[in-house]
């Protein structure tokens, strides 16, 4: 029985290593999604904002890019998602360079 427990532990360790590699590979491609913030399809932009929100710590300049997008975003749902993402990222980073946009911020209603 001890041998079997050892075998199971080895399999779990292999699985954990495999998942770590897959996770690392996935994180490497996240920056490739950045141009999709400029998509003409609002659904794509909204989805990419969700990815930025969830994986901000793995995307270089995530806050800055979301703030840039917010300054020109015209779709209200996407604007809301960006604002929510910026708030969440700010909280996660404890204010490290990510400020919540104010209602009277320049570009708030830009086309």
User: Is 111 within the bounds of a domain?
Assistant: no
User: Is 42 within the bounds of a domain?
Assistant: yes
The model's pTM:
0.68
Stated length of the chain: 111
Convert the pLDDT of each residue in 10-62 to its tens digit.
999 999 999 999 988 888 888 899 999 999 999 999 999 999 999 998 888 89
Per the structure, the count of domains in the chain is 1
User: Is 40 within the bounds of a domain?
Assistant: yes
User: Is 20 within the bounds of a domain?
Assistant: yes
What is the SS3 assignment for 105?
coil
Question: Residue 88 sits in which domain range?
Answer: 2-93
Residue 48's alpha-carbon distances to 34, 37, 106, 110, 111, in angstroms, are 8, 6, 23, 20, 20
């Amino acid at each position: 029985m001890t041998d079997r427990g050892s075998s199971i532990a080895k399999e779990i360790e292999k699985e954990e290593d495999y998942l770590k590699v897959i996770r690392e590979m996935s994180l490497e491609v996240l920056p490739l999604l950045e141009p999709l913030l400029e998509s003409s399809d609002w659904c794509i932009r909204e989805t990419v904002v969700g990815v930025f929100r969830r994986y901000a710590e793995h995307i270089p300049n995530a806050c800055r890019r979301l703030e840039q997008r917010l300054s020109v975003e015209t779709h209200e749902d996407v604007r809301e998602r960006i604002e929510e993402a910026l708030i969440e990222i700010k909280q996660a980073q404890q204010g490290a360079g990510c400020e919540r946009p104010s209602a009277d911020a320049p570009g708030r209603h830009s086309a």
